[in-house]
Chain A
Amino acid sequence: MRQSLLALLAKEPAHGYELKQALETIFGGAYPSPNIGQIYVTLGRLEKDGYVRSVDVEQANRPNKKVYYITATGREALETWVEEPTEGPRVRDEFFMKLVLAPMTGLSDRMALVNRQRRHYLSLMRDLRELAERTDPANRVALLLIEGAMLHLQADLDWLERCQEDLP
């Protein structure tokens, strides 16, 4: 969240609610709608670290709003973030833990676990497909994000198949 807020502020100063709206508009329905409280907490931390500053802007008939802008330090931090390679995704290992450990305890057999998980993944895939159908075709960012989620889910399913083949 820190870096995405910094990046948005590098474009133009904004207040917290505008940042929330910008994230939702850019990334669309697949992106977890950020909690406004979380945004203000993150902005507070960025301010404490000297990456952003804020000014109070008076509004007619309403409380002042705090507009945030990026500092030179913030811009440097953002540049470092953009330039460094990004970590690859981590393998989702909770199910794998279950798959390896649960049969040892006699709680479940692997076949049943794999079958249940496959149906669950397909149900998630259906959600993603329906979300893609509802997404504005002009929003390339949101659609690519959904496609990325689909490709990861496909890999999880392929892995599940390998587990079913190779684990006794």
Chain B
Amino acid sequence: MSSEAPVVRAVNLVKIYQTGGLPVPAVRGVDLTVEAGEFVAIMGPSGSGKSTLVHMLGGLDTRTSGEIWLDGRRADTLSESGWAVLRREKIGFVFQFFNLVANMTVADNVELPALLGGVSPRQARERREYLLGELGLADRAGASPAQLSGGEQQRVALARALANQPRLLLADEPTGNLDSRNTRDVLRLLGQVHGQGQTIVLVTHDARVASMADRVVSLLDGQIVDDGAIPKSRRRPLGAAGDVVELRS
């Protein structure tokens, strides 16, 4: 039964921040359903509520009102420890700031969620080797997070989020600190795991990342103003006779 349910269902989700003075609405009545295997990109200007939305979906921020259902289970009513269990079992999260465990090696950071998820040490190691390899970090496995650049830490955070093959991958600007080449590695890995059926919801302003998605959800002032598939291109297939670039007429 629960395998038929959408991976994510948010109903009339609202978040109002009140720090001191006036209440500030960040998310104002969002309805969002994500089916298993879907890849959804969330876009919108800064301050439109994107980060708040994914943080609520991952239980990292409490909702003011509305419902969150994950994998067929009501989640918004869970306690903090209930969320912690749910996250460990079902959600991989890539934060804007990576939150790696400082006194563990890169390899241990990535393997930990898989080990907590109950797979064998050998499987955890193989999964870690695959993920770090795909992200060009195989030779950094023994390093500690402090020895890594921001871009490397961000990729380790992605590897960690995928270690457990979670039911849902949530990511907030997962390429925000990456140069072009490293972004390409991340895109390739996202494409691979999505091809293997990984459900992905990610916030991005990077059009290369968003163009990987099946569907784009646009937020403005805390509300969804567009939600739909990225259309198939109407032009001739590129490669033989591209017309993307006009160098000089």
Contact = CB atoms under 8 A, between A and B. Distances in A.
A148 B244 CA distance: 11
Contact of B187 (A33, A121, A129, A147): A129
B22 interface: no
Interface string A150-163: 10011001100110
Size range of the chain A interface in the assembly: 35 or more
Dominant SS among interface residues on chain B? loop
Contacts of A27: 245, 247
A32 interface: yes
Given A125-B208, A129-B211, A147-B180, A164 B233 contact: no
Interface stretch (A52-60, A62-70, A94-102, A111-119): A111-119
A45 interface: no
Interface in A98-146: 111, 115, 118-131, 134, 145-146
B16 to A, nearest CB: 21
Interface residues of B, number: 37
Dominant SS among interface residues on chain A? helix
Given A146-B244, A164-B45, 8 more contacts: A29-B238, A30-B245, A115-B218, A119-B230, A122-B230, A146-B245, A154-B206, A158-B205
Interface of A: 1, 3-4, 27, 29-33, 111, 115, 118-131, 134, 145-150, 153-154, 157-158, 161-162, 164-165
